[in-house]
Homo-oligomer: A and B are copies of this chain.
Amino acid sequence: MKNPGCNHHRPELGDLTDRLRREARRITGPRQAILRVLQAHPSPMSNKEIFAALPKGECDLATVYRSLHLLEDIGLVERFDFGDGTARFEMARGGHSGHHHHLVCTSCNAIQAIEDCLALDWESRISQESGFKMVTHKLEFFGLCPQCQKT
């Protein structure tokens, strides 16, 4: 099927190579390190969090910002916005179950993924009714997690 070769455990890194090559982009230490951090983390991370999780001195914060833009552009990572003024990123989940949302605790910021996409149906309906094309959406949920309810 797809992985022809040595990509057994980290298909994303191989994917990175392919995509970057295709775009005449370079495979650098910082970019690989950032992807490794994202792969190891289950929920969206901010630039600062990614930077902090990087082996110290691995790269500059500005490079983290630049790399994430690039990785987002080529579709390797996905950007989320929880409304707190900081962007967060997650490895893009390729294919079927790709699109998803989150449930964020308004008190402790715990994040839980919501696996279904709940709004895809509406995109076409809204497109029809409004005349807009290429309709997408952003949807996130907020609430008080079980832990924080106790206090």
**Residues on A facing B (Cβ under 8 Å):** 81, 83, 85, 103, 105-106, 112, 114, 118-119, 122-123, 126-127, 130-146, 149
The closest CB in chain B to the CB of A110 belongs to: B132
Pair A139/B126 contact, Cβ less than 8 Å: no
The smallest C-beta distance from A102 to any residue of chain B, in angstroms, reads: 10
Interchain CA distance A143-B140 in the complex, whole Å: 18
The closest CB in chain B to the CB of A122 belongs to: B118
Q: How many chain copies does the complex carry?
A: 2
Q: Are A144 and B133 CB-contacts (below 8 A) given A114-B126, A118-B119, A122-B118?
A: yes
The smallest C-beta distance from A83 to any residue of chain B, in angstroms, reads: 5
Can you pick out 29 interface pairs between chain A and chain B where the beta carbons lie within 8 Å of each other? A81-B83, A83-B138, A85-B85, A103-B126, A103-B130, A103-B135, A105-B132, A114-B126, A118-B119, A119-B119, A119-B139, A122-B141, A123-B141, A126-B143, A127-B143, A130-B143, A132-B141, A132-B143, A132-B144, A132-B145, A132-B146, A133-B144, A135-B142, A135-B143, A136-B143, A137-B139, A137-B140, A138-B140, A138-B142
